[in-house]
């Protein structure tokens, strides 16, 4: 019933905290950092790493991949690099820079 109703979809309400996440992209997020490897630099999201997600550690602008390997292992590095798209909509961990 509501799928074809244009009036219903134009009148949707959005909570203020959800609007902030819907408007911003990962490039505005504090957890998006450059990950320095041996030969290249890639973007990655460090919100899932211990210490950075809870803001116990200061989030740097660039983080060596070796440090991530030491703390989180190969799977942790893989997860960090999966979240490295700056044009992606912000997630639940979004914090403005």
Query: Hey, which of 16-20, 23-27, 49-53, 60-64 has the most confident mean pLDDT?
Result: 60-64
Which residues in 31-55 are b (16+ Cβ under 10 Å) and which e? bbbebeeeeeeebbbbbbbeebbee
The model scores a pTM over 0.85: no
Per-residue pLDDT at 23 exceeds 90? no
- What pLDDT score does 81 carry? 92
pLDDT band at 27 (very low <50, low <70, confident <90, very high): confident
């Amino acid at each position: 019933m509501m799928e074809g109703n244009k009036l219903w979809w134009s009148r949707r309400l959005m909570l203020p905290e959800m609007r902030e996440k819907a408007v911003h992209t990962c490039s505005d997020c504090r957890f998006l950092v450059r990950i320095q490897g041996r030969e290249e630099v890639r973007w990655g999201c460090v919100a899932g790493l211990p210490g950075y997600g809870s803001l116990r550690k200061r989030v740097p602008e660039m983080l060596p991949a070796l440090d991530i390997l030491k703390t989180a292992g190969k799977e942790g590095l893989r997860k960090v690099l999966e979240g490295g798209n700056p044009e992606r909509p912000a997630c639940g961990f979004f914090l403005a820079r």
